[in-house]
Chains A and B, each alone.
Chain A
Amino acid sequence: MMDHTQYRSATMADPHDPDPDLRAHRESCAECRAFTEQLLRFEARLERALLIDIPTKPVVLPFAGRAQGPRRWMAMAASLLLALVVAAGVWLTLPQRSLAAAVVAHMAGEPDAWQLTDVPVPDADLNGVLKDSKLRLKPAAGVVSYASSCSFRGHKVPHLVVQTQSGPVTVMVLVHEAVRNPKQFDEQGYRGTIVPVPGHGSIAVLMRDASSRSGDVERIAARVSDSIVWTP
């Protein structure tokens, strides 16, 4: 049987270790559970700290030595153009992955937002959070139990929690983050989707994995998206 010291040593080396013995100890020991929660909060900070911003820059590989003279210059120009086209294509798709990771990292830093409650935030608070992003939400979106204007990748964005039949669902309205296609993700206990909103960036919708069923997130994302009214 694992003791506290063994559990905590192993968890400090790898807080996400799925080992069944660690899990069994955690479930039977309130003190170690509290210790783990504290450690995971720090881990979320660590993950965010490591994700430094990287400026986009096309990768250019050396040219083969076969082409000569004007042909070489044409090849160079074509290759550079190709690199830029590829870079642009990759730039359009790459942020989706890092964006999902950043959204999940942001969630881990705000555990209090996930409370199951039917108490809505006051309208004035909600509207205050939404007005900076020039939008409002129709009542059809559901009960909004949490609303905060959060710093996210250099911008203030609305971070909402909507209560649904499937449990609390987090919505982040990412006006500054354009994505080309919907992107599903399943990371660190969160299941979510980032969907494009033409002309208005994207919205990220995510649930805690245990409370979500297949298709829930997509349905809720569609409902929330339909409930947004963009204001001038």
Chain B
Amino acid sequence: MNDEIGGNQRRARFQALCQSLRPDLLRFAFWLSRDRALAEDVVQESMLRAWKARDSLLDETAAKPWLLTIVRREYARTFERKRLPTVSVDELVADEEPMLAAAEEQNISDVRAALMKLPDEYREPLILQVLMGYSTAEIARELELSGPAVLTRLFRARQQLRAACGEDLSQDPQE
């Protein structure tokens, strides 16, 4: 009986933890996949995996990076499992048109459209840095890259985004 109560309490606690992190996880999954429905599926599956692997989370304060790693792996697994068809970026942008149009201002929509077209290798470290607050070292660890490689990707990500949004690049350094 006590075991059952303890189990329920643990489940409720874990559920609350997942609930509080769900917006961040969904945003992360969305910007990885650029597909809202796929992001929902990936996050739901990730939470189930996380629940099964809950014993490996020793420190609750580390739950967010732990869950983000699970989401990344689940997203990669989805590709392997379902062999998702390759979709052109223009189709992705068109599919997410309501989200892009829902932006408060045109200049935010422009950035979102540019993000959708940014290559994965640049978009992922940028999301981790800007949205998730990861340091360069943390991104390097998560993506299994060197620190300089991460910095190069972040540099190129911003350069491409700013160019796509019509920003003045005349003062930018050349690589």
A binding-site residues for B, Cβ under 8 Å: 4-5, 8-10, 12-14, 31, 34-35, 38-39, 42-43, 45-54, 57-62, 64, 66, 79, 82-83, 86-87, 89-90, 94, 98, 151-154
Contacts and interface: CB of A to CB of B under 8 A. Distances in A.
Interface in B1-18: 4, 7-8, 11-12, 14-16, 18
B91 interface: no
Contacts of B26: 54
Q: 5 tightest CB-CB pairs across the interface, nearest first? A: A49-B111, A13-B151, A151-B104, A13-B154, A54-B23
B161 A58 contact: no
A21 B14 CA distance: 43
B157 to A, nearest CB: 9
Contacts of B33: none
Nearest to B174: A5
A83 to B, nearest CB: 6
Contact of B14 (A14, A42, A52, A61): A61
B46 to A, nearest CB: 11
Contacts of B103: 49
B22 A59 contact: yes
Given A13-B155, A42-B167, A53 B102 contact: yes
Main secondary structure of the interface of B (DSSP, over half): helix
Question: How many B residues are at the interface, by size bracket?
Answer: 35 or more
B7, B103, B115, B173, most chain A CB atoms within 10 A = B173
Contacts of B31: 50
A50 B19 contact: no
A14 B135 CA distance: 9
A86 B8 CA distance: 13
B99 interface: yes
A86 B16 contact: yes
A9 B155 contact: yes
Given A52-B30, A86-B19, A79 B11 contact: yes
B165 A42 contact: yes
